[in-house]
């Protein structure tokens, strides 16, 4: 094993949260706890109307009942006043305005509900549909005759079930598979496919026939792509003639696992025909018609098999969208997360940049090959993550969070950067008012290859620089996922700091927002430069007088969990406690038990039986360094995690036990790659901090 190097740091560029500084001066004693995290209302935006009305939802969790529920709200941009539209036992989701904002609809229980808005108040909603099995994600367009065109996701069984295969054995419990993709992320196949369907509903009539048209009938393909695809995967043209959707129609079974080459498909309701649109080699997704219906914008990745490729914006003329020609992105952004048409000549988009997510305005002009960029204007800045958003005239309403505050809605100027964004919701203000929050520092740390690495440092509330604190290295998952200004309900930096820990969170090589080269470096080099980056961050902070260098820990999930296992064998006694959640331990056994093979082939270099064996199975395989383990290890895993199957956690735990390393295995049989249940979440945090406190305090 090569000796680990100690790297010097660049001069720290510091930024402090003003609220955190004032908290320290106020002497507040309450801090964030796992229970308080579950008390927070989770705010999310649905839609905004032309006349300044806003539909948004707030999800609250009942830990005793072990469930959450989302309620729907109607707000007014001009006044900030709001009305609770629905507080029912079933969550309301996918809310939208019809033309002019005089009516709104939403989905609940898989059915469509509709109501009128009268002077900021609303009439009681009416249920319009009764689709057997319910509708999944859906979109609605109002036709010229007042009827509603509803495009939605339905599940269609197309493969033989076990009961159909052997009806003579109705009580048999078995499954038979002849191809790959028999399980995905957290679910075994149910022999069904996601299809896009549509129906036309007349709001003036109380009865509905229940008939709808499956525009993918007979095709054993998915749209949206499982497991995370949703309403962003399809759209309806403003006049209702076309429905566009994303799918991998050329791949099924094993081929589905090997490729990311999704295309866009345009269904013409007038002719019943579907045409394939011109796209790129990787994921084509998020098709969205312009308000005039002439243009179709979408995001796409150039390389097939590379799920973390640059995600850029493209625009094509609907009339010639199927023509084969070279496509060029309309704006030079490294990674676009989301976008919306503000008008037929303007798009607002959200991009990842230097550890944050920011909003940009893209003004368009007509060029020789269609619409082209005229001007890009930054609408936001600062250490925030801006999420979902909507546009109403000169106002943008957007979700915003930072590392000390959960999402709230903010109002922004749609034409220029508005430094003083105006708060629209304050769902969690009262809870935060009583909490002391720690300061946040940004450092640019030198890496061994001559780069600069943005590293967030989180301090305990009421931090005393004269004391020494146990310190945690946070290892990010992905691997190509930025440590941005996010607010997590599991890996919550404020919560970790509130328990008396300093937290170091580096944006090591392999994350977006710092240039294409930085993002792509990690492919094929999981255990190389990124590990040196982590050690550089730890060694830099360990020199600070307030860091107890004898009480260092490392924690992480997914690739972050892999990083913990890898560091366990090369850290040379730096760490005194380790926590790996759903980490990859043996790259050989992982390769043959995971499901999306395009990820494994791109990121680790393919299978281990090739003539030139990838380093992932030799130099960068954590199981090859177990003989060097010294630090106590907590392993956490979910039984339904098929991206990183549970055998990875079991193998690591058993290795630690057999080596005599203090270790514990925390197992959630019904959880997948994440912990979703409220009570499981409380147990997770309890065991997490109990382990750290045992070995670092």
pLDDT digits (tens, 9 = 90+) for 577-592: 999 999 999 999 999 9
pLDDT digits (tens, 9 = 90+) for 447-470: 999 999 999 999 999 999 999 999
With a cut of 50, say whether residue 58 has pLDDT above it. yes
CA distance 115 to 106: 9
With a cut of 70, say whether residue 94 has pLDDT above it. yes
The mean pLDDT value for 114-135 works out to 82
Say if 645 falls within a structural domain.
yes
Say if 605 falls within a structural domain.
yes
Integer angstrom CA distances of residue 458 from 462, 471, 559: 12, 10, 22
With a cut of 90, say whether residue 576 has pLDDT above it. yes
Which sequence positions are flagged as catalytic?
A: 558, 641, 673
Which pLDDT does position 8 carry in this prediction? 28
Which pLDDT does position 513 carry in this prediction? 94
Integer angstrom CA distances of residue 296 from 272, 634, 649: 20, 49, 45
Number of domains in the chain: 1
| Radius of gyration, CA atoms only, the chain | 26
Largest CA distance in the chain: 76
Pairing status of strand 547-557 against strand 575-581: parallel
Say if 652 falls within a structural domain.
yes
The dihedral through the CA atoms of 56, 61, 62, 66 has a sign that is positive
Beta strands in 321-379 (DSSP E): 336-343, 346-353, 356-367, 370-378
Which pLDDT does position 119 carry in this prediction? 62
Say if 399 falls within a structural domain.
no
464 contacts 516 by C-beta, under 8 angstroms? no
Say if 450 falls within a structural domain.
yes
The mean pLDDT value for 88-100 works out to 89
Which pLDDT does position 11 carry in this prediction? 28
Q: Which of the four pLDDT bands, split at 50, 70 and 90, describes residue 322?
A: confident
pLDDT digits (tens, 9 = 90+) for 266-320: 999 999 999 999 899 999 999 999 999 999 999 999 999 999 999 999 999 999 8
Mean pLDDT across the chain: 92
CATH number where 669 lies: 3.40.50.1820
Which pLDDT does position 206 carry in this prediction? 63
Cβ neighbour number for residue 294 with a 10 Å cutoff: 15
Say if 227 falls within a structural domain.
no
Domain range holding 486? 18-32+435-696
351 contacts 334 by C-beta, under 8 angstroms? yes
259 contacts 304 by C-beta, under 8 angstroms? yes
450 forms bridges with which residues in the sheet? none
Say if 282 falls within a structural domain.
no
CA distance 651 to 660: 14
Say if 306 falls within a structural domain.
no
Which pLDDT does position 209 carry in this prediction? 63
The dihedral through the CA atoms of 141, 143, 147, 153 has a sign that is negative
Which pLDDT does position 220 carry in this prediction? 94
């Amino acid at each position: 094993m090569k000796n680990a190097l100690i790297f010097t740091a660049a001069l720290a560029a510091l930024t402090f949260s003003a609220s955190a500084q004032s908290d320290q001066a106020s002497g507040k004693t309450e801090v964030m706890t796992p229970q308080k995290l579950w008390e927070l209302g989770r705010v999310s935006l649905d839609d905004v109307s032309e006349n300044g009305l806003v539909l948004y939802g707030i999800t609250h969790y009942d830990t005793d009942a072990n469930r959450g529920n989302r309620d729907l709200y109607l707000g007014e941009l001009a006044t900030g006043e709001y009305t609770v539209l629905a507080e029912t036992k079933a969550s309301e989701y996918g809310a939208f305005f019809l033309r002019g904002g005089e009516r709104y609809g939403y989905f609940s229980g898989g059915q469509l509900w509709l109501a009128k808005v009268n002077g900021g108040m609303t009439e009681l909603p009416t249920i319009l549909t009764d689709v057997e099995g319910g509708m999944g994600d859906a979109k609605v367009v109002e036709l010229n005759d007042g009827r509603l065109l509803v495009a939605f996701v339905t599940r269609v069984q197309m493969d033989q079930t076990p009961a159909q295969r052997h009806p003579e054995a109705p009580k048999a419990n078995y499954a038979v598979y002849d191809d790959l993709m028999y399980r995905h992320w957290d679910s075994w196949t149910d022999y069904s496919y996601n299809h896009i369907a549509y129906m036309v509903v007349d709001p003036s009539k109380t009865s509905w026939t229940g008939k709808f048209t499956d525009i993918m009938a007979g095709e054993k393909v998915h749209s949206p792509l499982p497991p995370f695809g949703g309403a962003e995967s399809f759209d309806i043209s403003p006049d209702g003639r076309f429905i566009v959707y994303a799918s991998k129609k050329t791949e099924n079974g094993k081929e589905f696992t090997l490729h990311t080459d999704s295309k866009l498909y345009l269904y013409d309701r007038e002719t019943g025909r579907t045409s394939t649109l011109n796209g790129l080699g990787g994921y084509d997704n998020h098709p969205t018609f312009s308000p005039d219906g002439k243009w179709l914008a979408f995001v796409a990745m150039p390389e097939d098999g590379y799920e973390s490729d640059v995600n850029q914006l493209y625009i094509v003329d609907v009339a010639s969208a199927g023509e084969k020609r070279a496509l060029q992105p309309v704006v030079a952004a490294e990674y676009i997360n989301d976008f919306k048409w503000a008008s037929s000549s303007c798009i607002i988009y959200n991009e990842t940049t230097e550890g944050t997510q920011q909003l940009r305005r893209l003004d368009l002009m007509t060029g020789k090959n269609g619409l082209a960029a005229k001007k890009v204007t930054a609408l936001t800045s600062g250490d925030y993550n801006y999420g979902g958003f909507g546009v109403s005239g000169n106002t943008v309403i957007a979700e915003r969070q930072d590392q000390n505050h959960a999402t709230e809605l903010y109002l922004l100027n749609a034409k220029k950067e508005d430094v003083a964004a105006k708060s629209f919701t304050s769902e969690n203000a009262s809870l935060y008012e009583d909490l002391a929050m720690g300061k946040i520092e940004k450092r640019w740390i030198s890496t061994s290859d001559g780069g600069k690495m943005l590293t967030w440092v989180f301090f305990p509330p009421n931090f005393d620089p004269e004391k020494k604190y146990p310190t945690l290295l946070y290892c990010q998952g992905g691997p190509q996922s930025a440590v941005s200004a996010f607010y997590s309900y599991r890996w919550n930096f404020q919560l970790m700091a509130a328990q008396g820990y300093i937290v170091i969170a580096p944006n090591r090589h392999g994350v977006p927002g710092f240039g294409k080269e930085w993002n792509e470096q990690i492919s094929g080099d999981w255990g190389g430069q990124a590990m040196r980056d982590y050690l550089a961050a730890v060694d830099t902070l360990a020199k600070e007088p307030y860091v107890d260098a004898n009480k260092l820990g490392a924690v992480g999930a997914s690739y972050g969990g892999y990083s913990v296992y890898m560091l366990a064998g090369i850290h040379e006694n730096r760490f005194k406690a380790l926590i790996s959640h759903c980490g990859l331990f043996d790259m050989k056994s992982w390769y043959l038990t995971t499901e999306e093979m395009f990820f494994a082939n791109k990121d680790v270099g393919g299978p281990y039986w090739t003539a030139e064996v990838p380093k992932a199975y030799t130099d960068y395989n954590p199981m090859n360094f177990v003989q060097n383990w010294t630090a106590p290890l907590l392993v956490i895993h979910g039984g339904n995690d098929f991206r990183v199957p549970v055998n990875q956690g079991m193998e690591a735990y058993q290795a630690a036990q057999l080596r005599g390393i203090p270790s514990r295995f925390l197992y959630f049989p019904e959880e997948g790659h994440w912990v979703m249940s409220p009570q499981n979440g409380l147990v997770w945090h309890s065991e997490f901090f109990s382990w750290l406190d045992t070995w670092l305090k």
